[in-house]
Structure 1
Amino acid sequence: MPRPRKQVTRSFSACWTCRRRRVKCSGAGLPCKQCKKCRLECEGYSIQLVWVDQKTGTYPPFSRRSMDFEQTWRGWPSFSDDHLQRLIEEMDSVDLPIADHSLPLSPFTVFHSTKQADPSILDRPTAKKPDLNLQDFASSTDSSQSESPPTPYIEAFCSLLRPLTPTIYDCLSSSRDEATIFHHYVTWIAPIMIPVDSTNNPWKSVYPSTALQDSSPASRALYHAIIAQSAFNLANLYKENRQIHHQKQSVALEHYGASLRELSQTLSCTKEAEYNACAATLYTLMISEGQARDSVAWRSHFHGAGSFVTQFVRQKPWAQSTHSWVISQSIALSFEISQTGNAKPHNRSPITEILFEGVALRRNFGYTIGASCDVLRIISSTRLFMERIAHGDVPENLWIIVQSYIAELLPENDAQCAIDLDIPERENIVKLLPRTEQFRFLDCLHLRLFRTAALIYIYQAILKVPPRGVSKYVRSVLLDAMTFIHIRGGAISMWPVFIAATEATDEADQQIVEHWLAVSSQLGIPNRLVAGTVIRQIWHDRAQEALAKGVEPDQVVLDWKAVQQRLGVDLLLL
C-alpha cells in the first residue's frame, strides 16, 4: 500500500533563500530565523517581477511574489461608498477640465475604459520621468544585451505603460529582444518626442496601444515601424560599439522593411477602422527617416500621408475619435513645421487643407510640440505669404497683416500664462516646486519660447531683417531653452531653437547654441548633429560675407534654407 503524500501548505511570504532550499521560513526578520540558524545569506522578501511567456503563460520557478492586503494598500486612503461611486463615474466622463495638473490620480485609472480618454484629461505628471542622462541610460541598456530583460526593466515598463490598454501585456512579441526594444521606445524615445513628458504623452499610450490592439496588417505595420525607430535609435546611441551598432541597425532595417510590406497590403483598401494604425505608421516611418536615419527620404512619407489622408475627407476620423485626433494632429504639425525648411516653394497642400483646419479646432492643438494653436496658425500663414512673395504675388494688405502678427507675438501681449517666467534665480526656485507646478512652468516656458521664435521667423522670412534687429529675441529663445533643458533634461522642440540659432551672431549666443547641440547630440538622433553642421555653416558664410562687404556679421541677411540646400541636407525640424 503506497504511503500517502504529505500535504504541504505553500507560502508566498518566505524569503528567497528558503524558497530555493524548499525549507520552512519564519517569514520575518532579515535575516530570517532559518537563514540565521544555518548561517546563510538571507536574500530577503523583495518583489521580483519576471517575464511571462506569451504562448504558454509560464514563468521561471521561484519568481512569483504576492503581498497581503494590508501591505498592498498601505499608505492609501480609505474611501467611502459614495466617494468610490464618484470615482468610478469619473472614469467615463469626457468633460473633465483640460490640462489640469492638479487633479489627483484616481485609483481606477489603472483599469481600461471602453471610452478613449482625451490626452489632455490625462495631463498629469508621471510618478518619475527617466532623466535624459546617458550614464544612467548606458548602465541600463548594457543589460539589454543579456538573455532577458532585468527586473528594473520590467518594473519600469509596467509603471510607464499604465495608460495603455491591457492588451499590451498580452500582445508583445514573444521575442525578448523585441520586447526590450519596445521597452526602449516607451522609456527613452517617448519622453524625447514631447517637450513636457507627462501622462498625456501619446508615444507612451496612443501609438503603442494602436500597434498592439489587434493582428491586422495595419497594426503590425505600426508595430514594426515602432521597433524600427527604436532600434535605429539604439544603433545611434551605440555608435562607438561597432558590434552592437551594426546588430541594432540590422534589426531596424529588417523591421523597417517589414513595416513597409505590411503597410502596402492595407493602404490601397484601408478601412476607416484602420485609419489610426496606417496614419501612425506613416508618421513613425517619417520620423525614423528624418530623425533616426538622417535621411532626405522622409518627405516621401509625407507625400504618402497626404495621399492617404485625402481618402478620408468625408469620414473625417480625426473628428470622431481622440486617438485619431492625436495622430492626425501629429501629421498636421509635422507638415507645417517641416515646410518652413523647404527651399522649394509649395502651395497649400491637401494635408493643410484637410487636417490643419480640422484638428486645430481643439484648444490643446500643438501640445505635442509645445506650441499653441494661435502661434502655429501664424507660422503657417507666414510660410504661405513667403511662398506667394517668392512667386511675385505680394498681397496689398501684407504689412497690416504682418503688423498684427508681430503685435500678437510680442512678449508683453502674452496673456496665456499666469506664471512669472522671469523670477530671479528661476531655475533653482522651479526645481524646489512641486512636480505639478514644475510642469505648469515648463509648459508656459516652452510656449513662450515658440512664440518668440515665431516672431524671429516673421522678421526673417518676410521682412528680411538682419540679425541685429532680432538679437534680443534670439537671446530670449536661447536663455529660455537653457532654462528648460537644465530643469527638464533636454527634450525640447528643435524648430524654435534652430530658428534662433540661424540668427545668432553674438559669441555668447553661439556658445549657448553649442551647449544645446551638445545636449541634443546625446539623444541618439542624428539629424540634431546635422542641424549643428548647418548652423555652423550659416555662421561661417555670414562671417565671410560680412568680411567681404566690410560690415559686421549681424548686418548680413542670409537665407538658411539656401545653405541647407547647398549642403544637400533636408532637415526635419521636429
Structure 2
Amino acid sequence: MNFEQTWRGWPAFSEDHLQRLIDGMDSMDFPVAEHSPPLNPFTVFHSTQRIDHSVSDDAPANKSALDLQNIESLAGLSQPKSPPLSYIEASCSLLRPLTPTIYDWLSTSRDEATIFHHYVTWIAPIMIPVDNTNNPWKSVYPSTALQDSSAASRALYHAIIAQSAFNMANLYKESQEIYRQNESIALQHYGASLRELSQTLSYTKEAEYNACAATLYTLMISEGQARDSVAWRSHFNGAGSFVTQFVQQKPWIQSTHSWVISQSIALSFEISQTGNTKPHNSSPITDILFEGVASRRNFGYTIGASCDVLRIISSTRLFMERIARGDVPDNLCLIIQGYVAELLPENHTKCGIDLDIPERESVVKLLPRTEQFRFLDCLHLRLFRTAALIYLYQAILKVPPRGVSRYVRSVLADAMTFIHIRGGAISMWPVFIAATEATDEADQQMVERWLSVSSQLGIPNRLVAGTVIRQIWHDRAQEAIARGVEPDQVALDWKAVQQRLGVDLLLL
C-alpha cells in the first residue's frame, strides 16, 4: 500500500513527539506475549535485556575494523566506532512474532539474533546505493525469510545468516579467533540453506517463489562478494532453471515483493555477464525474467541504474558475442550511433537537477535529507550511464583509453562526490569499468580512494577488484613501453587479465 493508504485515519505526529517516542525506546519494557499489540510505531525488539557483544580481547587493540570517518556514515546510520555488532537491544527472539508458529523453526540463540541484526543494520544499507525507505534488504528479504516455517523460508533465513556471518568474519579478519568463529557459523548456515533449498526446488509452489528466488540470489551474493569465490555463477544457472518453471504463472507481475526479488536476479545476471569470458548468449533470465520485470518505471533502482541504460548494457554484451562469432548485424553502425547518443552525459536531462553546481559537495550536505537522496539518485544514474558509454566503446568499438578519458574522469569525479556526501555504498560495476580505462595519475588516485573506502565494507571482492585493476594498469604500461606509445593508446581486455589472474569478479 502507498503511504497515504497505510496511515489513513492515524494522527500525524509532530517531530518532537516522534523524537520522544524514539528516545523512550531504551527504557521501555515490552510485553513478551506473542500477540501483545505494539506500544508505538517503532516497536520492533523485545527490550527485556541488553546483550553485550563487545569485541573480545583478541580483536585488534585501539583499531576499528572500519574507518567510518572516511566512509562518512555510509548507511546514514549512527554507527559505533567498532563494527556494528557491538551491542544489540534484543531478547533471545529477535523480532516480534509475525505468526504464532514463526519461531517453531527459528533458532533463539543470541549469536543468531546478533547476526540477523547485523544484516538489517549494516548489510542492507550497503546493498543499495541510496539507502531509503525502498530498500528491499531491510524489508522484503527479511520478511520473506520470516513469513512462515516452510522449507523455502528456512532456506532464505539460513542464506541471510550465512551472508551476514561471512561479512562479520571479514570485518574482523585481523582477529583470527573471531574470523574463524564467524566463518564457521556462516558455512553451517550456507550448507543448511542449500539443504533446505534442495528440498523445495523440485516442487516449488507459486507461493514459495519469492523465498526460493531470494535464496538463490542471496547465496550468489554470499559466494561472489563475501567469500570471493568463483562458484557464484552456478547459482545463476540454478536461477535460470528455476525461472523457467514459472513462465506461465509469471509471479513477478503478480506482487511487488516478487517483482523486487526477480529484478534483483535479472539485474545481477546482466551485470555479471559483462565479465564472463565464456560467451553465454541469452538465457531464461534474459529472455523471460529481464523482459518480464523491466517494464516497471523504477526497474534498476536497487543498483542505481535506469531501465534504458541496463537494456543498452545487455544489448551491447549480446552484440559483442555475436561479433565474436563472426555474425555482424548489417545495421550495427546505426544501432551503435543510437546508443551513443542516448548515453552521452549531455543528453542526460531526465532528473531535472543541476549535478554540476559549484562546490556541490558542501552545498548538497546542507540540503534536507530527501533532497540529498534525490541528488544522489540522479548522480548515481549519471555515473552508471556514463560507464555504460565506456563499456560500449570498450566492448564493440575497441577504443583505447585516450578516446574515453573524459568519460572516465566524469565517472570517477561523480563517484568521489557520491562517497563524500553519502559514504561509499556505490555500485561496483560503473566505477570498475571506468577504473580499467584510467591512465591519468589523477584518475588513478581517485580509483585508489574509492578502493580504500569500499575495502572497508567487509566484502572481499572489493580487494580482488583492486588487484585486477592494478594489474590492468601494469600490463598496459608494459605494453606501451614495448610498442613505444603512451599507455592511453593501448586498448586492453580487462576480462582477459581477470581470467589470467584466476578470478571471476561479481561486479555488484
1:216–1:388: structure 2 CA closer, same or farther, 3 Å change rule? same
Alignment partner of 2:274 out of 327, 336, 340: 340
1:176 and 2:110 matched: yes
CA deviation profile, 1:489-522 (whole Å, cap 9, x unmatched): 1000000000000000000000000000000000
Match for residue 121 of structure 2? 187
Match for residue 82 of structure 2? 139
Match for residue 38 of structure 1? none
Match for residue 240 of structure 1? 174
Match for residue 372 of structure 1? 306
| Matches of 1:368 and 1:537, distance apart in 2 | 30
| Matches of 2:31 and 2:149, distance apart in 1 | 20
| Matches of 1:377 and 1:553, distance apart in 2 | 31
1:391–1:226: structure 2 CA closer, same or farther, 3 Å change rule? same
1:474 and 2:408 matched: yes
Deviation at 1:553, TM superposition (A): 0.2
| Matches of 1:188 and 1:400, distance apart in 2 | 45
| Matches of 2:282 and 2:184, distance apart in 1 | 38
Larger Rg: 1
Deviation at 1:48, TM superposition (A): 2.3
Match for residue 530 of structure 1? 464
CA deviation profile, 1:454-479 (whole Å, cap 9, x unmatched): 00001110000000000000000000
Contact 1:168-1:209 within 8 A present in 2 as well: no
1:560–1:174: structure 2 CA closer, same or farther, 3 Å change rule? same
| Matches of 1:476 and 1:200, distance apart in 2 | 28
1:298 and 2:298 matched: no
Deviation at 1:142, TM superposition (A): 5.8
Code of the aligned partner of 1:484: F
Code of the aligned partner of 1:139: S
| Matches of 1:134 and 1:362, distance apart in 2 | 30
Contact 1:54-1:174 within 8 A present in 2 as well: no
* Secondary structure of the structure 2 residue equivalent to 1:523: coil
Question: What is the aligned-residue identity percentage?
Answer: 81
| Matches of 1:165 and 1:482, distance apart in 2 | 42
Match for residue 453 of structure 2? 519
Q: How many residues align?
A: 455
Match for residue 426 of structure 2? 492
1:207–1:487: structure 2 CA closer, same or farther, 3 Å change rule? same
Deviation at 1:109, TM superposition (A): 13
Match for residue 161 of structure 2? 227
Alignment partner of 2:27 out of 36, 43, 48: 48
| Matches of 1:108 and 1:244, distance apart in 2 | 32
Match for residue 360 of structure 1? 294
TM norm structure 2: 0.85
CA deviation profile, 1:252-303 (whole Å, cap 9, x unmatched): 0000000001001100110000000000000000000000000000000000
1:439 and 2:373 matched: yes
Ranked by relative contact order (alpha carbons within 8 Å, sequence separation 6 or more), the top structure is: 2
Code of the aligned partner of 2:209: Y
1:141–1:508: structure 2 CA closer, same or farther, 3 Å change rule? same
| Matches of 1:165 and 1:379, distance apart in 2 | 43
* Secondary structure of the structure 2 residue equivalent to 1:346: coil
1:405 and 2:378 matched: no
Contact 1:336-1:380 within 8 A present in 2 as well: yes
* Secondary structure of the structure 2 residue equivalent to 1:480: helix
Match for residue 391 of structure 1? 325
| Matches of 2:28 and 2:174, distance apart in 1 | 32
Deviation at 1:53, TM superposition (A): 6.8
Code of the aligned partner of 2:229: S
* Secondary structure of the structure 2 residue equivalent to 1:139: coil
1:517–1:49: structure 2 CA closer, same or farther, 3 Å change rule? farther
1:273 and 2:216 matched: no
Match for residue 93 of structure 1? none
Alignment partner of 2:190 out of 245, 256, 267: 256
1:168–1:222: structure 2 CA closer, same or farther, 3 Å change rule? farther
1:507–1:466: structure 2 CA closer, same or farther, 3 Å change rule? same
Code of the aligned partner of 2:223: E
1:134–1:566: structure 2 CA closer, same or farther, 3 Å change rule? farther
Q: Aligned-pair RMSD on alpha carbons? A: 2.8
Contact 1:333-1:366 within 8 A present in 2 as well: yes
Match for residue 558 of structure 1? 492
Match for residue 544 of structure 1? 478
| Matches of 1:297 and 1:137, distance apart in 2 | 34
Match for residue 263 of structure 2? 329
Q: What are the within-5 Å matches in structure 2 for residues 83-122 of structure 1? A: none
| Matches of 1:165 and 1:322, distance apart in 2 | 23
1:197 and 2:131 matched: yes
- Structure 2 unmatched runs, 5+: 1-22, 45-71
Alignment partner of 2:145 out of 208, 211, 236: 211
* Secondary structure of the structure 1 residue equivalent to 2:82: helix
Match for residue 19 of structure 1? none
| Matches of 2:148 and 2:420, distance apart in 1 | 40
1:362–1:134: structure 2 CA closer, same or farther, 3 Å change rule? closer
Code of the aligned partner of 2:397: L
